[in-house]
Amino acid sequence: MLSFPKGFVWGAATAAYQIEGAPAEDGKGPSIWDTFTHRPGVIADGTNGDVACDHYHRWPEDVALMRALNLDAYRFSIAWTRIQPNGRGPANPAGLDFYSRLVDALLEAGITPYVTLYHWDLPQALEDEGGWLRRGIVDDYQVYADLVTRALGDRVKHWATFNEPWVFTWSGYALGEDAPGLKLGARGALAATHHALLAHGITLPLIRANVSDAVAGIVLDLNHVEPASDHPEDVAAARRWDGCQNRWYLDPLFKCHYPEDMLKLYGSAAPDVLPGDLDQICAPLDFLGVNFYRRSVVAAGTDLPPIDMQRHSPAGEYTEMGWEVSPNGLYDILKGVSDSYHPQAMYVTENGAAFADVVTPDGAVHDERRAHYLRKHFAQARQALSDGVPLKGYFVWSLLDNFEWACGFEKRFGVIYTDYATQRRIIKDSGHYLAQMAAS
């Protein structure tokens, strides 16, 4: 068994839209994901998150399962539209109550809540006014964050402002693959990114004002990038992809500027940055959350203009998402970010794998591949820790199988199996393995 220092946090993560269901209950308003998933043809299996894991009604059972997994912590997100159904105005008491009861139950079970304020489910009413493309969204986000942190900040100390800004800005506003489904290219993604980063930076001091002993940060999806060959064009493409996915977020957050090479590349697609914006964006972070799923092996190509890249798939093991299993990549990204940006504290806020699971006649799920995947990644995290990375904890994605965005329910990431027809949960072998790690 791998050994981690005392106090190292073991957890599992989820997000509101992916598990809660109950899209219009207790005053909840529609989010862009409620709208998007009801458009024909956008979700691989034609499903939506209307019921998902029915966590909105089954949360006591889910907290009991977390306890059975010996988790120290649970990372989940708040649905903005439960708090402000139309994105503005006073808090909806029933929405706040739902999360308040969940937080109380977690604390009673000895599980520390790690809350993400925004995991992609923007109020549709705000999208109708331009969503993340509109600079004024920064003020709306701040009001929302204020309401939530005031209500829960007496009990919740760990706050992340955003989950994976690269994904919701590029997939949502440039490529149209995620909500709100806009295909505006780099200009759209970069405007949305700038406003999200600004909202993040402006909100950090507010969280600290509302929450005593707050531990506040942001969660990024980061890839360790390698060129597919040593040809200068491939090396340059790898550098561009690193700039797009990693440095475009890390540089402003830690160094108060966007990367020069990328500003040049983006040209007129670069965002409108007002004086003072970058100083606000680089407000000191208490932690950086890293979501890691794969490394990127990149050659020159025509994808994602103006990045003009092409992903390579070296021989090896792949998950059901088509993502290479690359535990060393986790070490490389943790160590690389730690050495270049010196965050005070880091967490692996998501790591996990989709594999095709089968319930065997004995009612179990023997997901040996996922358990093995986790073991190999945990070992790399341990190595990073030994090599000086200030890693404080590890959250597996995901607590339970759930709605995997544009892939629908076809991809299962859980360490707990969800039988969607009956909503029965089964702890998979990988969950038993996580329970052992957490207990040790």
- Positions touching ligand IFM (CB under 6 A) are 15, 18, 164, 291, 350, 397, 404, 413
Question: What burial letters (b/e) apply to 76-98, b meaning 16+ CB within 10 Å?
Answer: bbbbbbbbbbebeeebbeebbeb
| 8 A C-beta contact, residue 77 and residue 117 | yes
For the CB of residue 15, give the shortest distance to ligand IFM in the complex, in Å: 5
C-beta of 284 vs 408, nearer to ligand IFM: 408
| 8 A C-beta contact, residue 32 and residue 127 | yes
For the CB of residue 192, give the shortest distance to ligand IFM in the complex, in Å: 17
* C-alpha closest to that of 165 among 289, 261, 344: 289
For the CB of residue 285, give the shortest distance to ligand IFM in the complex, in Å: 19
Is 350 considered catalytic here?
yes
- One of 127, 164, 226, 404 is an active-site residue; which one? 164
Distance CA 269, CA 275 (A): 18
Distance CA 329, CA 292 (A): 8
Residues in the chain: 440
Is 164 considered catalytic here?
yes
Task: Give the chain's count of helices (H) and strands (E).
Answer: 16, 13
Can you tell me whether residue 63 is helix, strand or coil?
helix
E strand or H helix at 394: strand 391-397
E strand or H helix at 116: strand 112-116
Longest dimension (CA), the chain: 64
For the CB of residue 14, give the shortest distance to ligand IFM in the complex, in Å: 8
Position closest to ligand IFM via CB: 15
- One of 127, 324, 350, 404 is an active-site residue; which one? 350
C-beta of 49 vs 271, nearer to ligand IFM: 49
C-beta of 130 vs 181, nearer to ligand IFM: 181
Distance CA 76, CA 397 (A): 11
Distance CA 355, CA 370 (A): 7
Distance CA 259, CA 252 (A): 8
C-beta of 208 vs 428, nearer to ligand IFM: 428
C-beta of 17 vs 266, nearer to ligand IFM: 17
For the CB of residue 353, give the shortest distance to ligand IFM in the complex, in Å: 9
Where are the alpha helices (H) located in 112-229, listed in sequence order?
124-127, 137-152, 165-166, 185-210
Distance, C-alpha 274 to centroid of its chain: 28
C-beta of 53 vs 147, nearer to ligand IFM: 53
Annotated catalytic residues are: 164, 350
